[in-house]
Amino acid sequence: MAKAKSNFFTYKGLPLVRKGNQLYFGNMYDEFVVQMEVQSTKKVGDLDVADKVIIRKMSTDMTINPLEAIVKTAKKDSLYEALDIACAWLRV
C-alpha cells in the first residue's frame, strides 16, 4: 500500500510546524504534543538563532481547559535542547 505524503516538515518522524515564534511538535492525533515558544534570539553571523525557548507538553484533548492541558514545562537555552527534551517527552 502506498504511503500517504505528509505536507508537514518532520523531525525524527514527527510533524514540526512553525507559526511565528511558536513551534508545535508531534501529531495532533496522539495524546500529547509539545509547544515551543521562542522568547528571544541572538545573531550568529547573518542568522537569528533562538537562545531562550519555553517548552510545554500539552494534551490534545479538546474538552480540557487549555491551561489545564499543560502537563509539563521547561526552559532551554537553544532550540536544539528544546527539541531534544520534546522528543524525550513524546517518546516516553
For residues 49 and 38, the answer to whether their CB atoms sit within 8 Å is: no
Number of H helices and E strands in the chain, helices first, is: 2, 6
Mean pLDDT across 44-51: 91
Pairing of strands 47-59, 70-76: antiparallel
Residue 55 domain-assigned (yes or no): yes
Scanning the structure block, which residue is given the C-alpha cell 538563532?
Answer: 49
The per-residue pLDDT for range 1-45, each reduced to its tens digit, is 455 555 779 999 899 999 999 999 999 899 999 999 999 999 999
The verdict on residue 3 lying in a domain is: no
pTM over 0.75: yes
Full domain range(s) for residue 18:
10-91
Would residue 41 count as lying in a domain? yes
